[in-house]
A and B are shown apart, each in its own frame.
Chain A
Amino acid sequence: MIGRITNQMTAQMTLAGIETAIDRVDTTQQELSSGKSINQPSDNPAGAALALGLNTDLSNLTSYSNNVTDGTGWVQAQSSALTDITNSVQRIRELTLEAANGTQTTADMQASAQEVNQLIDEIKQDANTQYNGQYVFSGSATSAQPYASGSNDTYAGNAGQVTRTIGPNTSLTVNANLSGVLGNGQTVSGQPAGDGLLLNALRNIADDMQSGNSSAVNADLSSLDTNLNSLDGLSSNVGAVQDRLQMAASRIQTLQTSDTQVLSSTQDADMASTEISFSTQQAALQAALQAGANIVQQSLMNFLGTGSG
């Protein structure tokens, strides 16, 4: 399309060629040094949008993962407390069986009553278990100590739930309703409250042992067994929550891996191919510079004698 080539054109075109080559090398160099193919949104707007979305997804997954870790700690604290409580109750059941067969003296039974009261205190202490400074068995009132030590068994927490979000729109209740099994026991020493729950049953046993009434102790056994069953049920609930947390952890791990992979393939530079482009572009730049140095110098004047004619 162009007939005449003038010196200004050659100079401009050589310069434009060098500038283009430098610009390409510069872009590739930026990719190499940052390791990213998207350094600004304009490099790839769709990719940048995807990368921002994935970063938020990953941030959410980090939150879920933290929640699962926190929930697991919470549940493990409950689980070990429940095991201790179950052991204490089992020990009380043994003492109750011994007292119920009518062979023990009143003094023996009173000694047993003392042990039962100590065990009740231990149970209440286990119910006051804390995880990360929070009471795990006081419902959502996590700063309230559920049971005071001593003879007052009134539950000081609430029936609220503690939940942990472990996925989009998925929250898991991590607190076991221990107060539903323990109940309010007795409010005033010697005046059993009538809620029939575990603490109430245990206080009844202690009172009956104290009075040396073996047949009454025998009658208390059925209430104890019912409450022991509830306690077992609670323990297996906690176990189920632990299983769900474990599954959530592995699901989150998988999602984190795949999100990270997609993010990497979206915004990270392909080092091998970028390196190859870089050396190709460097060669092109060298060629452009060499052309500028050698070709632009040439003109008809190089071949004309100075004093021709």
Chain B
Amino acid sequence: MTIPSYMGLQTALSGLEAAQAAIDTAGQNIANASTPGYSRQTVNLTERSALTIPALSSVTGDGAQLGTGVDITSITRIRNQFLDSQYRAQNTTENGNSTSSTILSQVQSGLNEPSADGLSGTLDQFFRDWNTLASTPGDQGAQQAVMGDGAAAGDQLNTLSGQLSTLESQVTSQYNTLTDPSNSAVANDANEIAQLNGQIAQAQAAGIDANNLEDQRDNVIDDLSQYSNVYVNTQSNGMVNVSFGNAALAAQNGTADATPLVSGTSVDLTDNVTDSNLSGAGGTLGSLLGLYDSTSGTGKLADYMTTLNGVASQLVTTVNNAISGADASGPSATPFFDPTGTTAATIAVNPSLSSNGTTPPYTAAEASAAAGLSGGAADQAYKAFVTQVGSDVQSAQNAQQTSQSLLTAISNQRQSISGVSLDEEMTNLIQFQQAYQASARVMSTIDTTIGSLLSMVAAG
């Protein structure tokens, strides 16, 4: 048996095609070098099955395997699923910390501490006014100063309470916007994953690589992971099931999720986007619930409100008690703070004081007792509150910075595997350009060979 004359042409053609595919893939990689979520692609080449030529050798009488060229088996994404899940876990943590840190910083800025204009400075001034009044009990100016700075302290507590309420409703509305079943970030992401699942399964059934669809799906899952924990379970048909929130954490620990957020092409929001599934989980949604859960009225902001109300109540009680217990006329003296307003939102100077006219109602002993409260229970409770907010903000910021740098590190590792290096692609381009030229040279050599044979036949 002899070697077919034109087989070499086919071999050279396969080389041309392989080099062409590699050059095109390098072109695709370079074009998408900056596309978010793009994974670099590589052409997987294998040898074509050899042509067995029996008894080629007249010496040994044995046959030989003649190579028939190169085969493009597939063009695949280079991606590490393990790094993906690490990236998503860290993305969840980072977004949770960043949400807390942002909201808590707003609480902190509202306090305006440490400064002379914060509540702490106002309280200091308020108690100094009482001291002045104690030295000059009949003095109208001293009385007015006490009234004015008492009102200022009350106003500041009212304002702080108002700011906390505003933040609570902001947190609630942000949570509601993100979890709205009809049109929210979470619902949109889940629907997109389900849609892509269907397209990928179709492509896979038809034997087509769905690289771009898979890139898109991974990108959407990355996006979903900022809201809460996600757990991705890949199915044999190319679809993925995505668990969300606490269910994802449970699934990670081996408890199968009966109602995943995305299961094949269907989306289940009712079982997954619930307070109970998201509360305590990570991500923006878990953090928002930890800050303020409007259903139960709990969370860090609610705790702050309780503490602030405690400060207001302490201030009202201690000042009023100090006055009433100071001397014989104390019990019948008008309480300085309105005794009915004992929360931060309602604390106010007793309105009957301003209608009291020209007679300053407090004796030196009463004023002196009130002045003695400087640095007392209300003061300390407020300072403890400021310190608590400060530590909370500090730890949230530190956690945010740590998770941010971890996220960058993991992102870099992922980039290192899947990202496009232009230098590498340039090198590949040169390599495959030369391979292409060489294959073309093979083709022209065969052409010349066969041509010379034919011309001899013609001449004969």
Q: Which residues of the partner chain B approach A133 to less than 8 Å between Cβ atoms?
A: 136, 138-139
State whether the Cβ of B226 lies closer than 8 Å to any Cβ in chain A.
no
- By size class, the interface of chain B is 35 or more
Q: Which residues of the partner chain B approach A165 to less than 8 Å between Cβ atoms?
A: 131, 134, 368, 371-372
Mask of B409-439 contacts with A, CB within 8 angstroms, 1/0: 0011101110111111011001001100100
Q: In the complex, which of the residues B34, B408, B437 contacts A8, with contact meaning CB atoms closer than 8 Å?
A: B34
Given contacts A164-B135, A267-B114, contact A4 B127 (CB under 8 A): no
State whether the Cβ of A53 lies closer than 8 Å to any Cβ in chain B.
yes
Q: Which residues of the partner chain A approach B386 to less than 8 Å between Cβ atoms?
A: 41, 48-49, 52
A140 adjacent to B364 (CB under 8 Å): yes
A55 adjacent to B114 (CB under 8 Å): yes
State whether the Cβ of A163 lies closer than 8 Å to any Cβ in chain B.
yes
Q: Which residues of the partner chain A approach B379 to less than 8 Å between Cβ atoms?
A: 56
State whether the Cβ of A132 lies closer than 8 Å to any Cβ in chain B.
yes
CB proximity of A264 to chain B, nearest CB, Å: 13
Query: Complex formed: what's the CA distance from A13 to B365 in Å?
Result: 67
B114 adjacent to A59 (CB under 8 Å): no
A48 adjacent to B387 (CB under 8 Å): yes
Q: Which residues of the partner chain A approach B27 to less than 8 Å between Cβ atoms?
A: none
Q: Which residues of the partner chain B approach A2 to less than 8 Å between Cβ atoms?
A: 412-413, 416
State whether the Cβ of B268 lies closer than 8 Å to any Cβ in chain A.
no
Given contacts A8-B419, A9-B416, A143-B138, contact A300 B426 (CB under 8 A): yes
Query: Complex formed: what's the CA distance from A9 to B422 in Å?
Result: 12
Q: In the complex, which of the residues B108, B363, B387, B416 contacts A4, with contact meaning CB atoms closer than 8 Å?
A: B416
Given contacts A8-B33, A41-B390, contact A63 B131 (CB under 8 A): yes
B419 adjacent to A9 (CB under 8 Å): yes
A309 adjacent to B421 (CB under 8 Å): no
CB proximity of A8 to chain B, nearest CB, Å: 5
State whether the Cβ of A194 lies closer than 8 Å to any Cβ in chain B.
no
Query: Complex formed: what's the CA distance from A75 to B123 in Å?
Result: 30
Which residue of chain B is the closest to A301 with respect to CB atoms? B426
Which residue of chain A is the closest to B427 with respect to CB atoms? A300
CB proximity of B120 to chain A, nearest CB, Å: 5
Q: Which residues of the partner chain B approach A57 to less than 8 Å between Cβ atoms?
A: 375
Query: Chain A CB within 10 Å — which of B123, B375, B389, B415 has the most?
Result: B415
Q: Which residues of the partner chain B approach A70 to less than 8 Å between Cβ atoms?
A: 135
Which residue of chain A is the closest to B388 with respect to CB atoms? A45
CB proximity of A169 to chain B, nearest CB, Å: 8
A301 adjacent to B135 (CB under 8 Å): no
Q: In the complex, which of the residues B125, B131, B397, B437 contacts A42, with contact meaning CB atoms closer than 8 Å?
A: B397
Q: Which residues of the partner chain A approach B415 to less than 8 Å between Cβ atoms?
A: 6, 8-9, 12
Mask of B349-386 contacts with A, CB within 8 angstroms, 1/0: 00000000000000111001001101100010001101
Q: Which residues of the partner chain A approach B116 to less than 8 Å between Cβ atoms?
A: 55
CB proximity of B254 to chain A, nearest CB, Å: 29
State whether the Cβ of A40 lies closer than 8 Å to any Cβ in chain B.
yes
CB proximity of A282 to chain B, nearest CB, Å: 22
Given contacts A67-B131, A308-B430, A309-B433, contact A7 B109 (CB under 8 A): no
A162 adjacent to B364 (CB under 8 Å): yes
CB proximity of B164 to chain A, nearest CB, Å: 16
The B-contacting residues of A in range 110-141, CB under 8 angstroms, are 132-134, 140
Q: Which residues of the partner chain A approach B421 to less than 8 Å between Cβ atoms?
A: 4-7
The A-contacting residues of B in range 17-35, CB under 8 angstroms, are 33-34
B33 adjacent to A7 (CB under 8 Å): yes
CB proximity of B216 to chain A, nearest CB, Å: 18
State whether the Cβ of A89 lies closer than 8 Å to any Cβ in chain B.
no
State whether the Cβ of B451 lies closer than 8 Å to any Cβ in chain A.
no
CB proximity of A191 to chain B, nearest CB, Å: 34
Q: Which residues of the partner chain A approach B411 to less than 8 Å between Cβ atoms?
A: 12
CB proximity of B415 to chain A, nearest CB, Å: 5
Query: Complex formed: what's the CA distance from A2 to B391 in Å?
Result: 36
Mask of B84-125 contacts with A, CB within 8 angstroms, 1/0: 000000000000000000000100110101101000110111
B127 adjacent to A63 (CB under 8 Å): yes
State whether the Cβ of B239 lies closer than 8 Å to any Cβ in chain A.
no
CB proximity of B270 to chain A, nearest CB, Å: 39
B390 adjacent to A40 (CB under 8 Å): yes
Mask of A26-49 contacts with B, CB within 8 angstroms, 1/0: 000000000000101111111011
Q: Which residues of the partner chain A approach B114 to less than 8 Å between Cβ atoms?
A: 38, 41, 48, 51-52, 55, 267
B375 adjacent to A56 (CB under 8 Å): yes
Query: Chain A CB within 10 Å — which of B105, B113, B426 has the most?
Result: B113
B420 adjacent to A142 (CB under 8 Å): no
B374 adjacent to A12 (CB under 8 Å): no
Query: Chain B CB within 10 Å — which of A4, A42, A299 has the most?
Result: A42
CB proximity of B33 to chain A, nearest CB, Å: 6
Q: Which residues of the partner chain A approach B125 to less than 8 Å between Cβ atoms?
A: 59
Query: Complex formed: what's the CA distance from A7 to B40 in Å?
Result: 12
Which residue of chain A is the closest to B120 with respect to CB atoms? A52
A40 adjacent to B109 (CB under 8 Å): yes
Q: Which residues of the partner chain B approach A67 to less than 8 Å between Cβ atoms?
A: 131, 135
State whether the Cβ of A260 lies closer than 8 Å to any Cβ in chain B.
no
Given contacts A2-B416, A4-B419, A8-B420, contact A60 B375 (CB under 8 A): yes
State whether the Cβ of B300 lies closer than 8 Å to any Cβ in chain A.
no
Query: Complex formed: what's the CA distance from A41 to B422 in Å?
Result: 47
Mask of A84-127 contacts with B, CB within 8 angstroms, 1/0: 00000000000000000000000000000000000000000000
State whether the Cβ of B128 lies closer than 8 Å to any Cβ in chain A.
yes
Mask of A269-309 contacts with B, CB within 8 angstroms, 1/0: 00000000000000000000000000000011100100011
Q: In the complex, which of the residues B111, B394, B416 contacts A6, with contact meaning CB atoms closer than 8 Å?
A: B416
B113 adjacent to A48 (CB under 8 Å): yes
Query: Complex formed: what's the CA distance from A60 to B394 in Å?
Result: 30
Query: Complex formed: what's the CA distance from A138 to B6 in Å?
Result: 132
Q: In the complex, which of the residues B121, B123, B412 contacts A12, with contact meaning CB atoms closer than 8 Å?
A: B412
Which residue of chain B is the closest to A11 with respect to CB atoms? B34
Query: Complex formed: what's the CA distance from A134 to B417 in Å?
Result: 87
A63 adjacent to B128 (CB under 8 Å): yes
CB proximity of A136 to chain B, nearest CB, Å: 13
State whether the Cβ of B132 lies closer than 8 Å to any Cβ in chain A.
yes
Mask of B132-166 contacts with A, CB within 8 angstroms, 1/0: 10111111000000000000000000000000000
Top 4 nearest A-B pairs by Cβ distance?
Answer: A41-B390, A6-B419, A59-B124, A42-B393
What are 24 A-B pairs with beta-carbon distances under 8 A? A4-B416, A5-B416, A6-B415, A6-B419, A7-B33, A8-B33, A40-B393, A52-B113, A52-B114, A56-B123, A59-B124, A59-B128, A60-B375, A63-B127, A63-B374, A66-B131, A66-B135, A133-B138, A134-B136, A162-B364, A299-B422, A308-B430, A309-B433, A309-B437
With A4-B417, A49-B383, A163-B364 given, name 19 new contacts (CB 8 A).
A4-B416, A5-B421, A6-B420, A12-B411, A16-B408, A41-B390, A42-B389, A48-B387, A49-B387, A52-B383, A52-B386, A66-B132, A70-B135, A134-B138, A140-B364, A140-B365, A300-B423, A304-B426, A309-B430
